[in-house]
Structure 1
């Protein structure tokens, strides 16, 4: 069974909620840990990855904080797959709200490697 909390800039809003304003999204992406989390989700099948696979060298509570920032910016959603928490990148929703932004950020990252 898969349960999902919809991509939304504010917890509890319906799935049709819009992505946060561009300055909130950019602020969320400005942190290198969150940017790496987004990069890993973008590379994962269905843009979904279990939480523990999205970070290294930080504690669980710190990771939870970063997940919350990404979720509140409308960049991610929490999904439970078989009772295991996953994060999903809301790429289509962000692309609709802020055309080209996330794609440009991710393309820029791949050029930096």
Structure 2
């Protein structure tokens, strides 16, 4: 895998961020990553093919919502909460609150999670 490009905070465009958040699977990924933990791509589960999940992760990264890191053959992803809050104050809490209220992205989870944690 070539080195992934991540937009700088000033390069993040509201229209691209909103477009990335227009899909329930991507909203589910953002909800899952909102706990602040970096996750391996292999930990993520969604009702789509692996290639489609990879596409969703790329859309989130290209919009500046996530940061991807490669370590050997494994890829990891984390939410860029601080950068998003700096660029678009209040946007992420509003999106997460509405997604929680409407249960958007509920079908996204983790392959294996400790008891009591959302899958």
User: How far apart are the structure 1 equivalents of 2:101 and 2:11?
Assistant: 26
The number of aligned residues is: 101
**23-32 or 102-111, which moves further after superposition?**
102-111
User: How far apart are the structure 1 equivalents of 2:100 and 2:57?
Assistant: 22
Secondary structure at the residue paired with 1:99?
Answer: coil
> What is the RMSD computed on CA atoms of the aligned residues?
2.2
Residue 17 of structure 1 deviates from its aligned partner by 4.6
With the length of structure 2 as denominator, give the TM-score of the two structures. 0.72
CA contact (8 A) 1:19 1:75 kept: no
Of Structure 1 and Structure 2, the greater helix share is in: 1
- For residues 37-52 of structure 1, the aligned pairs below 5 Å read 37-43=29-35, 46-52=36-42
Unaligned runs of 5+ in 1: 10-15
User: How far apart are the structure 1 equivalents of 2:44 and 2:96?
Assistant: 15
User: Which runs of structure 1 show a deviation greater than 6 angstroms over 4 or more consecutive aligned residues?
Assistant: none
Unaligned runs of 5+ in 2: 104-119
With the length of structure 1 as denominator, give the TM-score of the two structures. 0.76
Confirm whether residue 100 of structure 1 aligns to residue 100 of structure 2. no
CA contact (8 A) 1:37 1:55 kept: no
User: How far apart are the structure 2 equivalents of 1:111 and 1:94?
Assistant: 21
Aligned to 1:24: 16
